[in-house]
Structure 1
Amino acid sequence: MYGIIAGLFVILASVIGSLAGLIFKKITHRANDMILGFASGVMLTAAFLGLLPTAFEQFRPIPVLTGAAGVFAGAFLISLIDRFVPHVHFDGGHMKESETKGHGSRVLLLIIAIAIHNIPEGLATGIVFSDGLTDSAVMVAVSMIVQKIPEGLIVAVPLLGMGMKRLKAFKISLLIAFMMLPGIVAGVLLGALPTLLSSFFYAFTFGAIVYVVSDEIIPESHEHGYQRAATFSLITGVIVVVLMQHI
């Protein structure tokens, strides 16, 4: 139940961020890139401190090979989804027009894009509570909560940019937030598997997060000439998670 409760708080954080986006309506390239940089630092640090140690907890040949296979499997699955499932990227809080042509509904493309991000985040939030209410699990969950608020903000802004009414934009933001729930439940179930298998899925989740951050979030934060601001925001995200672990 801890994983489900933590997941609901993560979803709530995303909704709060979306509400902020609906209030502000616009976001500058600089702010967008700083938010993405911060989210990258938080996600990477939470993954390295909260997922990777458990994935390689048993330093023997078979568990190590299993962990390595899990990392590559997680990254490979997300890369396949990223390659073959149509979706859009963000450009300063707006969707890139060149990516929306010929693929149908822009709203659907946006939802798919966020779903790709939500898969590893949901898995991470659920799986870390497999050993109960540990300090590491709380750190990962709080990290996801912290980064979901600004992420929710940059999800809501493109909806308003389409000329959508606030109420409809909020309903879609709510749907996007609750799309994390299947990943959270899956993480809880996978964490309950026997040790070798659960270690594999810890590694799998780690690989998925690293892929999303490296292939999607960091490049998007470096597209508008604010690389330095994005980089220092990433470092800030790292420090925030490290401090949380020691509080």
Structure 2
Amino acid sequence: MIYAIIAGCCVILTSVFGSVLGLIFRKITHRINDMFLGFAAGVMMAAAFLGLLPTAFSQSEFSAISVAVFGIIAGAVFISLLDRFIPHIHIDGGQMREESSPNPRANRTLLLVIAIAIHNIPEGLATGIVFGKGVSGNALMVAASMMIQKIPEGLIVMIPLLRMGMSKTRALLFSFGVALMMLPGVVIGAILGSLPVMLEILFYGFTFGAIIYVVSDEIIPESHEHGYQRYATFALIVGIITVAMLQYI
């Protein structure tokens, strides 16, 4: 648990570092934004496939494989339901576009918090669950992957806050508070990772499915909306390569 919390704090700090960069680069082009999104998608995909999926399918028995498959589907369905029924805002090239909401007067900042929280759920779980059995090369690889992708994410989140009229200090404090929302997921993930084997397999699959859903439904489509999908695709490949190389460092 201690190592999981330390890793989670490191991920949070890298998110804050990305937000600080957002204070410096207050305007980024759609092309750069889409490349950042593509890179983050590649990092998350690689961490999921290299760090979570092998553990989910580590047992060869049919029952264990069935549990892993069920977990993957459950994770994707869970995030899909959150995305479907909870009003939130999508960040689009430094702008914000609001999803349909039953309360049209809902505060935009709150909607942004909810959007980031939905993204942070699988990321926090992934960071925590790999430390459930202690420190390992796989755990460090997943944690490092989350740290890497949080830097561009922090930058992309900061820019619309400034465009909303927030002061730099308030926007930075807001970004830090939102980043802290990852910690509950880290703690829950660490607890789940220490459960008996079958439950561990279930939640590894669940976390994998949740991450892949976020990448496929949110990040990649948003990186392809402005005509720079080729740049975003190459950035995604770079993200995958970056995480793959972490296994040999």
2:83 corresponds to: 82
1:245 corresponds to: 247
2:95 corresponds to: 94
**SS state at 2:130 partner:** helix
Shift of 1:24: 1.6
Deviations 1:34-60 (A, max 9, x none): 000000000000000000011111011
CA contact (8 A) 1:88 1:99 kept: no
Question: Partners of 1:41 and 1:175 in 2: how far apart?
Answer: 26
2:61 corresponds to: 60
1:2 corresponds to: 3
CA contact (8 A) 2:79 2:118 kept: yes
Q: Which runs of 5+ in 2 are unaligned?
A: none
Shift of 1:103: 4.8
Which amino acid letter does the alignment assign opposite residue 126 of structure 2?
A
CA contact (8 A) 1:46 1:143 kept: yes
1:69 corresponds to: 70
How do 1:156-235 residues align onto structure 2 when only pairs under 5 Å count? Answer: 156-235=158-237
CA contact (8 A) 1:18 1:170 kept: yes
Q: Which runs of 5+ in 1 are unaligned?
A: none
> In 2 relative to 1, CA 193–14 (structure 1 residues): closer, same or farther, beyond 3 Å?
same
Shift of 1:131: 2.1
Question: Partners of 1:229 and 1:192 in 2: how far apart?
Answer: 40
Which amino acid letter does the alignment assign opposite residue 193 of structure 1?
L
Question: Partners of 2:245 and 2:24 in 1: how far apart?
Answer: 30
CA contact (8 A) 1:86 1:103 kept: no
Shift of 1:133: 1.1
> In 2 relative to 1, CA 237–103 (structure 1 residues): closer, same or farther, beyond 3 Å?
farther
Between the two proteins, the alignment pairs up a number of residues equal to: 247
Provide the TM-score with structure 1 as the length reference. 0.97
Does 1:37 pair with 2:38? yes
Which amino acid letter does the alignment assign opposite residue 104 of structure 2?
G
Which amino acid letter does the alignment assign opposite residue 79 of structure 2?
I
Question: Partners of 2:229 and 2:118 in 1: how far apart?
Answer: 24
Pick which of 96-105 and 108-117 moved more: 96-105
Which amino acid letter does the alignment assign opposite residue 66 of structure 2?
L
Structure 1 residue ranges, 4+ long, deviating more than 4 angstroms after superposition: 97-101
**SS state at 2:96 partner:** coil
Which amino acid letter does the alignment assign opposite residue 14 of structure 2?
A
CA contact (8 A) 1:51 1:206 kept: yes
**SS state at 1:8 partner:** helix
**SS state at 2:88 partner:** coil
Deviations 1:98-147 (A, max 9, x none): 76881511111111111010000000000001221111110000000000
Question: Partners of 1:129 and 1:98 in 2: how far apart?
Answer: 35
Which amino acid letter does the alignment assign opposite residue 28 of structure 2?
I
Which amino acid letter does the alignment assign opposite residue 171 of structure 1?
L
**SS state at 2:127 partner:** helix
Determine what percentage of the aligned residue pairs are the same residue.
Answer: 63
Which amino acid letter does the alignment assign opposite residue 208 of structure 1?
A
From 101, 108, 111, the equivalent of 1:109 is 111
**SS state at 1:132 partner:** coil
